[in-house]
Structure 1
Amino acid sequence: MHEVLLSLEIAGACAVALIVVLLLVVLRRRRLMGRLGTFDCSVRRARRGRRRWALGVAQYETDRLDWYRTFSLSPRPSCSFARQALAVTTFREPEGTETGAVQPGAVVVECRLDGEDIDLAMGEDAYTGFASWLESAPPGQGVNVA
């Protein structure tokens, strides 16, 4: 009987820990989305031959685009893309399996960042803001919008 109670206590503690972690992820996302200049954005980078979409939230900064992974507890961005090094090559509708991997209604924005191919998936309104942000670079920086 004692072993059964101990197993139930361990299972209960694991369930509570999982709920706490999920609650922290949700609260972090709400805090991020409450900031000015944030939008839902999925990222796909070519690293070690793998190209998978990762869900997240992007935030405009003066000289960079910070991207935060959705399923993370870190207060720091997972990636930062320098504005002057980021160039849009094209944008298109999601194709094939991409439609299930990105947000509904998203467009895929194909970019180059210092020779690396990066795909961003965002809503059409977010793309309009993204293109405007790139075009409105401070003096001395080139315009990198297709």
Structure 2
Amino acid sequence: MADGLTLAELTLAVLLVAALIPVVWLIGRRRWLARSGWVFDCSLRSAIMTPSTWMLGVVRLNGELVEWYRVFSWSLRPKVTLRRGQAQPTASRVLEPAERALLVDQDRVVQLTDPEGRSVELAMAPARMTAFLSWLEAAPPGSGYR
């Protein structure tokens, strides 16, 4: 037997590294997102995007922006961005029975509409929704009253 790695061992090592790269990327990306804002789990459904189904993601509250990122994505750019002063909560509801199989059972849904009439629905835990709506309706530090 020759010294060094055999072809099978080399192939196994390459496959192991190839399998770990996406996992390391997703963990590193989540940590990078959390460095510059408050990040929490949040599913999104939008009539603009096709298909209009619930997508798992995270929201980052970054300055004046609400940025939504897909969880399983290579991109460092948000898929949906809304401005704090322009996104208006128009409705809030509990999950419908059909949605309970797709989302976390305790989630609540809030619908946000921008001035152009586009709307998205965000599903999140009730405690996160309370904090998110408070942040959305409050004025940022140093901006005075609305």
2:106 equivalent to 1:105: yes
Gaps of 5+ in 1: 142-146
Retained in 2: the 8 A contact 1:33–1:57? Answer: no
TM superposition shift of 1:69: 1.2
TM-score (norm 2): 0.76
SS of equivalent to 1:57: strand
TM superposition shift of 1:52: 1.0
Q: CA separation of 1:17/1:23 partners in 2, compared to 1, >3 Å: closer, same or farther?
A: same
Root-mean-square deviation over aligned CA pairs: 2.6
Q: 2:63 maps to what in 1?
A: 62
Number of paired residues?
Answer: 135
Q: 1:82 maps to what in 2?
A: 83
TM superposition shift of 1:12: 6.6
Q: 2:33 maps to what in 1?
A: 32
Q: 2:74 maps to what in 1?
A: 73
Retained in 1: the 8 A contact 2:36–2:62? Answer: no
TM superposition shift of 1:49: 5.9
Can you list the C-alpha shifts for 1:67-112, whole angstroms capped at 9, x where unaligned? 1211112222222111122111111111133212223421111121
Letter in 2 for 1:29: R
Rg larger for: 2
- Structure richer in helix, relative to its length: 1
For 1:109 and 1:32, the matched residues in 2 are separated by 23
Identity across the alignment (%): 33
Gaps of 5+ in 2: 1-6
Letter in 2 for 1:82: R
TM-score (norm 1): 0.76
For 1:110 and 1:32, the matched residues in 2 are separated by 24
